Structure 1
Amino acid sequence: MKAVLYVAHGTRSKKGELEARSFLQKIMMKAPLPIQEISFLELSEPSMDEGFARCIQQGATDITVIPIFLLAAGHMKRDIPDNVKRWKQKYPQIRIELLNALGVQEEIVDGIVELIHESIIDLKRNDSILIVGRGSSDPDIYQAFAQIENMLRKRIKIESISTCYLAAAEPSFTCGLNRQLTNTTGRVIVVPYLLFSGLLLSEVSRTCRKFGSKVIQMGPLSHYPAIESLLVRKVSIPNICSLR
């Protein structure tokens, strides 16, 4: 019997955890599979191991692991694959497949642009966009965000678009925001490239509020219909949904 195990990052923020669960439950309602379980990599429960065990207890013989991660950085290259490798060694009779992170997607960038235009009716060329990534020690994130910046430039007539990070990469959010505020005559539109609310997004919000109307903050990406559509398609691909 086929199953899907969703793996979200996890957070110490109760609001962020509830937001992740609610979002994933909407995905599960649209997916025609009898066994679907939610799990978290860290900081929230159930753990990946607990979610996997629940799939087994319900009779799963074919489990697809779907990471709810935007980019393929450290967690996607090491932590999650290590867990999957361990499961495969312990349960050789069970087919286990790990799907990729969402990655850099035209559809996500289209959703960001659509939300900016809906939220800011009087968007001006001298406004700027500051993308805020979670950050990682993995150097590939710089290339990913460079792609995202270029995709935004092709879609939106704004002079300045740049990226900053909340941890483990430079420039920091504080430096990135101060640079945009110094160099921009218009407003700074802050786009958190984060899926859910949490402590990191709360930090962003507190800082943005200090600048009043000079800084406009967008919501997390899980609020964008494009993200939901992408995940529903991942779950609905034929090799997952063809039940035995």
Structure 2
Amino acid sequence: MTPGILLFAHGARDPNWAIPFQRTQALLAEQPTAHGKVPVELAFLEFMQPDLIEGGDRLVKAGCTEVTVVPLFLGAGGHVRKDLPELMSQLQARHPDVAWRLAPAVGETDTLVQALARSAAELAGLTPKA
């Protein structure tokens, strides 16, 4: 088993929109794991490249045999519930020897919800009660 991570974001026409996602990719790629450093690709649904299929192809080319797709969406709307499973099916058909796993949208994790609340409080100039 050689793991890889495929981050999946919506995409936008403004290239600056992708900066936080590119930073996320870079930070994740540098984190040591039980498997050493794991290859991480960032892919987009629209407007930006690479798309999910190309990002998956890159991880397979890097030798990954088990890839977790992590939607960088605040919630699981239509893109996560409808578009993404179809794209996952295309990846599975294209690379049947690879185990493709779809993680929940990051915005649905308690970790991110708490981080959003902390950030909102900081931006509002509020500090937590000691």
Aligned to 2:8: 7
CA gap 1:119/1:37 in 2 versus in 1, 3 angstroms: closer
Give me the whole-angstrom Cα distance separating, in 1, the residues matched to 2:118 and 2:91.
41
1:74 aligns with 2:78: yes
46, 51, 56: which is aligned to 1:47?
51
Provide the identity percentage.
Answer: 25
**SS of residue matched to 2:106:** coil
Structure 2: 5+ residue stretches without partners: none
TM-superposition CA deviations, 1:207-241 (whole Å, max 9, x none): xxxxxxxxxxxxxxxxxxxxxxxxxxxxxxxxxxx
**SS of residue matched to 1:6:** strand
The answer to whether the Cα contact below 8 Å between 2:25 and 2:41 also exists between their aligned partners in 1 is no
Give me the whole-angstrom Cα distance separating, in 2, the residues matched to 1:81 and 1:28.
25
Once the two structures are superposed, the pairs formed by residues 92-241 of structure 1 within 5 Å of their partners are 92-121=96-125
TM-superposition CA deviations, 1:53-86 (whole Å, max 9, x none): 1111111111111111111110111111101112
TM-superposition CA deviations, 1:86-126 (whole Å, max 9, x none): 22123222111111112444444443443344334479xxx
Aligned to 2:26: 25
What is the total number of aligned residue pairs between the two structures?
Answer: 124
CA gap 1:22/1:102 in 2 versus in 1, 3 angstroms: closer
- Computing the radius of gyration over CA atoms, which structure comes out larger, 1 or 2? 1
Give me the whole-angstrom Cα distance separating, in 2, the residues matched to 1:3 and 1:87.
14
Give me the whole-angstrom Cα distance separating, in 2, the residues matched to 1:30 and 1:58.
17
Structure 1: 5+ residue stretches without partners: 124-244
Normalised to the residue count of structure 1, the TM-score between the two structures is: 0.45
Give me the whole-angstrom Cα distance separating, in 2, the residues matched to 1:110 and 1:34.
26
TM-superposition CA deviations, 1:142-192 (whole Å, max 9, x none): xxxxxxxxxxxxxxxxxxxxxxxxxxxxxxxxxxxxxxxxxxxxxxxxxxx
Stretches of 4+ moved more than 4 A in 1?
Answer: none
The answer to whether the Cα contact below 8 Å between 2:7 and 2:71 also exists between their aligned partners in 1 is yes
Does 29-38 or 9-18 show the bigger shift?
29-38
CA gap 1:12/1:85 in 2 versus in 1, 3 angstroms: same
Give me the whole-angstrom Cα distance separating, in 1, the residues matched to 2:22 and 2:39.
16
1:34 Cα deviation from its structure 2 partner: 3.0
**Whose RCO is larger (CA < 8 A, sep 6+)?**
2
Give me the whole-angstrom Cα distance separating, in 1, the residues matched to 2:48 and 2:93.
25
RMSD: 2.4
Give me the whole-angstrom Cα distance separating, in 2, the residues matched to 1:122 and 1:57.
48
